[in-house]
Amino acid sequence: MSDEETLLTVEDLVMYFPIRRGIFQNVVGHVHAVDGISFNIKRGETLGLVGESGCGKSTTGRAILQLYKPTAGKVIFQGQNLVNLRGQKLRAMRRQMQMIFQDPYASLNPRMTVEQIIGEPLYIHNILKGGAVRTRVEELLKLVRLNPAYSDRYPHEFSGGQRQRIGVARALALQPELIICDEPISALDVSVQAQVVNLLEDLQKEMNLTYLFIAHDLSMVRHISDRVAVMYLGVMAELADREDLYSNPLHPYTIALLSAVPIPSPIIEAKRKRIILKGDVPSPVNPPTGCRFHTRCPLAVAICTEKRPEWREITPNHFVACHLVESPNTERMKTSMTGHR
Amino acid sequence: MPEILKVQGLETQFHTHDGVVHAVNGVDFHLSEGETLGLVGESGCGKSVTMMSILHLIPAPPGKVVAGQAFFQGRDLIPMPDEELRHIRGSQISMIFQDPMTYFNPVISIGKQVAEPLEIHLGISKNEAESRVVELLNLVGIPNPRERYKDYPHQFSGGMRQRAMIAMALTCSPQVLIADEPTTALDVTIQAQIVELIKELRDKLGMAIIWITHDLGIVAGLADRVIVMYGGYIIEEAAVKTLYAEPRHPYTIGLLGSLPSLSKSRRERLASIDGIPPVLFRKATVCPFAPRCAYRVDKCFAENPMLIDVGLNHRAACWVDTQTRKVRA
């Protein structure tokens, strides 16, 4: 990155959801969806956020936009802590942060035309009125490589990939700085996924956008991201530059995750040895003590069950939370994944 | 290896309010004993319908198998009465599905459901079945199988439910297992567990597998041979290594090019395929892929190409030789 300015800083973000039971709706526990994570995003970069379902990656995205009020922590965007903002001030900041959703079928109102969908943010934020909206919508449609004549059509007239483009156009309507892409391609067919990813990359170059790209597809995240963060059960496991993370993973979870991804090459697949993690991800209602990953970690030792590992910068820009970083066992685990490069 | 399943000229249609959907348009393939066959394609290409047609699982109406044969051990399954087919389906040929939550009945315990094929196909009593089921649950790696036997589907995690479904499919030691996107709904670490489990079971039990998926990554490490489908047609077929090393149909070439890979080192633009998959309201008289194809020539819009040999055990359906870019006669 030439421009090293930090656009967004997340500090010790915590997001608990209460679980209520009984006739008085007493709070009987909490879902620990996000439990103290910190990272930043630089202007113009793409930060990939990966993890399995339920690890808190989508919650993180929503808590950044203040769609959920974080339980604790700071979200600093352009120098302002969004957590403290309310009403008008928050709405003004929201203009600069938009979201693209996973399901292009559920995220567009079926009773609204494309013009109404893409124009809605312009109305809400009082940017344009009347005929000017139409012109802007047509511009935006062109920008996402759709025919501007489609303005009066309804979402059901479009394919999944086209709908996702409409979602992208809506997100761009307010010329935001930051776009949170919450699994934007996982509902699309393989051949169409590449179209949408290429579009996102082109738009980023043209408009100097900053992306938080949330996904579970590690190969797509590697393709699109500058830096990648790996989450597990509400906490950050590892964060590093893309090449560094994929070629030199330090957290046992990252190593296992990378080894589990199938590679579309029979020759590499035949040589690879998979690290198969045992069991399932534990419940975030009652997360394990110490390191969250210790119940499935093939390397876990006594300290892992007792003490939560610190979030440390091991080498420049390479953060990891593990007691066993660069221990001989982690190294051995890494080298056992032959075929992984 | 002798052929265990041979499908010829299979055609399936759905009669909907909007017209006739030509889901499968004349599909020929075979499966050898102990072989793992990958059936690859995007949603709506006819891969699942092909397999469901063979097992009479197409709801009729609206669906109808209008032509074709499917020989299993010398007998044609297509015209077979449902009553007779039921003895084969679930015992000699069994199937596992994508969504293990909707597959199980939520109000019957897992153990009872896994035992069902034993009672139906082998006439084993409930008590005898229990010990066999516990054995099976153990085989597919479910911890404490004796206790989990009494649990209900909602008490199982996604991965565990998928294991239970595999146990159910294996109860009668099938010769053919049809796996319809069994790992698509699962997380990548759980997917790795399930794929590993099926590989182990395959080597232990020696069954043939047809693995239906849209994920070219999984097939690479699992299949011996791969069939690629598009618009209700088989458009390419080859041994797994050949297909990935020398794809010959433009669609396969595009599909492989559109995948980002963990092993590609540079950040390069993905080769995308323009356009969208076809809607199959008309039976294609021209090549169904032509509107999206980077190699298209006039002939593609005049006639639908047949599958022809393009190499040793390698077939593709394209008018253009994609290696030389010459139009075939």
Which residues make beta-bridge pairs with B94? B177
Q: What is the pLDDT of residues B103-119, one digit of tens each?
A: 889 999 999 999 988 88
Q: Rounded mean pLDDT of B152-165?
A: 87
A2 pLDDT exceeds 60? no
**Quick one: B125 exposed, middle or buried, by C-beta within 10 A (0-12, 13-18, 19+)?**
exposed
pLDDT band at A339 (very low <50, low <70, confident <90, very high): very low
Chain B contact probe: residue of A53, A58, A145, A190 with most B CBs at under 10 A: A190
Q: Please give the C-alpha separations between residue A65 and each of A10, A75, A94, A101, B197, in angstroms, as whole numbers.
A: 11, 9, 7, 13, 41
Q: Rounded mean pLDDT of A242-261?
A: 92
pLDDT band at B100 (very low <50, low <70, confident <90, very high): low
Asked if the C-beta of B231 comes within 8 angstroms of chain A's C-beta atoms, the answer is no
pLDDT of residue B156: 87
Q: Can you tell me the distance from the alpha carbon of A65 to that of A74, in angstroms, rounded to the nearest whole number?
A: 12
pLDDT of residue A337: 66
B32 pLDDT exceeds 60? yes
Instruction: Name which of A191, A266, A339 is nearest B273 (Cβ-Cβ).
Output: A191
Q: Rounded mean pLDDT of B82-94?
A: 90
Q: Rounded mean pLDDT of A64-76?
A: 93
In B, minimum Cα distance to A261 occurs at B188
Among A45-49, A264-268, B196-200, the range with the most confident prediction by mean pLDDT is: A45-49
Q: A with B: how many residue pairs have Cβ under 8 Å apart?
A: 134
Q: What is the pLDDT of residues A177-198, one digit of tens each?
A: 999 999 998 888 888 888 899 9
**Mean pLDDT, chain A, whole residue set:** 90
A167 pLDDT exceeds 80? yes
A340 pLDDT exceeds 70? no
pLDDT band at B158 (very low <50, low <70, confident <90, very high): confident
- Residue A78 three-state SS: coil
Residue A277 DSSP class: -
Asked if the C-beta of B220 comes within 8 angstroms of chain A's C-beta atoms, the answer is yes
Q: Rounded mean pLDDT of B250-262?
A: 85
Chain B contact probe: residue of A189, A221, A244, A245 with most B CBs at under 10 A: A189
How far does chain B reach from its first CA to its final CA, in angstroms? Answer: 34
Q: Rounded mean pLDDT of B69-80?
A: 92
Q: Can you tell me the distance from the alpha carbon of A65 to that of A46, in angstroms, rounded to the nearest whole number?
A: 17
* Percent residues over pLDDT 90 in chain A: 64
Q: What is the pLDDT of residues B177-236, one digit of tens each?
A: 999 988 887 888 888 888 999 999 999 989 999 999 988 889 999 999 999 999 999 999
This prediction's pTM = 0.86
Instruction: From chain B, pick out residues whose CB is under 8 angstroms from the CB of A191.
Output: 42, 254-255, 258, 272-273, 277
A74 pLDDT exceeds 50? yes
pLDDT of residue B264: 58
The structure tokens listed for A236 are: 């950050």
Q: What is the pLDDT of residues A105-145, one digit of tens each?
A: 889 999 999 999 999 999 888 888 888 899 999 999 999 98
Q: What is the pLDDT of residues A21-44, one digit of tens each?
A: 888 889 889 999 999 999 999 999
DSSP one-letter string for B116-148: HHHHHHH---HHHHHHHHHHHHHHTT-SSHHHH
Q: Can you tell me the distance from the alpha carbon of B199 to that of B166, in angstroms, rounded to the nearest whole number?
A: 12
pLDDT band at B79 (very low <50, low <70, confident <90, very high): very high
Q: Rounded mean pLDDT of A53-65?
A: 92
- State the smallest CA–CA distance between residue B258 and chain A in angstroms: 6
Contact B70, B41 (CB under 8 A): no
pLDDT of residue A263: 87
pLDDT band at B263 (very low <50, low <70, confident <90, very high): low
The structure tokens listed for B96 are: 């596992």
Contact call for A258 and B262, based on CB within 8 A: yes
Helical segments of B123-246, H only: 126-139, 145-148, 158-170, 188-205, 216-222, 240-245
pLDDT of residue B265: 53
Contact call for B191 and A276, based on CB within 8 A: no
pLDDT of residue B318: 94
pLDDT of residue A271: 85
Asked if the C-beta of B261 comes within 8 angstroms of chain A's C-beta atoms, the answer is yes
